[in-house]
């Protein structure tokens, strides 16, 4: 018969490991109560359950609550995003010839030194050709209107303009188009 010391030495096992007796789970009541609360309040996650358990003086440390919450598999299900009812949108008329429909938009860029460039671009939707572009560090409303009314009109100017949807550019484009006396779509 081998002694514990000799057996541990031969197997390479620590004697404390051999004698270790696991402590009984202290969290049995906490686990049971957490499951009950989670069933009653399905939309409550770990933080809200922690508050309820703290009121009942079952738990003090939130990390303990989160650990047990995960171990019990009580994680909330991710909600599926509700899809909004689709509104039938009219497809825009596609142009059939050059200069029938133009798009106007402001484009922004930045130089290496940090200065910003603002470009007013006017593009023919049929040929996808840039009809006109105005580049400056700051394009004011008046400058844009002068540019749109004078420099960008070719010989056969009869376009139906459209605007790219943006935050500030749509409003400014509408103002430019109203000054040039072209109808902008709403």
Which of 25, 51, 71 delimits the end of a domain? 71
For residue 153, the model assigns a pLDDT of 57
Where helices occur in 41-128 by DSSP H, the ranges are: 46-55, 62-71
Which of 19, 54, 71 delimits the end of a domain? 71
For residue 170, the model assigns a pLDDT of 54
Full domain range(s) for residue 34: 4-71
Q: Are residues 60 and 108 part of one domain? A: no
The structural domain count of the chain equals 2
Give CA separation, 47 vs 42, 69, 72, in Å: 13, 10, 15
Whether residue 8 is contained in a domain is answered as yes
For residue 63, the model assigns a pLDDT of 92
Residue ranges in the chain whose pLDDT is less than 70: 85-86, 142, 144, 148-186
Length of the chain: 186
- pTM of the full predicted structure? 0.39
Which of 20, 49, 71 delimits the end of a domain? 71
Q: Are residues 107 and 67 part of one domain? A: no
Q: Are residues 105 and 66 part of one domain? A: no
For residue 51, the model assigns a pLDDT of 92
């Amino acid at each position: 018969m081998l002694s514990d010391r000799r057996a541990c030495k031969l197997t390479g096992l620590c004697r404390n490991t051999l004698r270790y007796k696991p402590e009984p789970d202290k969290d049995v009541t906490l686990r049971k109560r957490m499951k009950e609360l989670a069933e009653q309040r399905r939309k409550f996650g770990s933080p809200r359950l922690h508050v309820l358990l703290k009121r009942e003086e079952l738990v003090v440390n939130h990390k303990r609550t989160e650990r047990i919450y995960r171990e019990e598999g009580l994680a909330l299900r991710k909600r599926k995003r509700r899809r909004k009812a689709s509104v039938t949108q009219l497809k825009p008329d596609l142009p059939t010839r050059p200069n029938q429909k133009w798009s106007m938009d402001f484009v922004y860029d930045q130089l290496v030194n940090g200065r910003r460039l603002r470009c007013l671009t006017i593009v023919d939707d049929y040929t996808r050709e840039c009809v006109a572009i105005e580049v400056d560090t700051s394009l004011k409303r008046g400058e844009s209107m002068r540019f749109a009314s004078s420099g960008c009109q070719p010989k056969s100017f009869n376009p139906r303009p459209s605007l790219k949807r943006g935050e500030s550019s749509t409003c400014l484009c509408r103002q430019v188009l109203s000054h040039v006396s072209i109808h902008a779509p709403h």
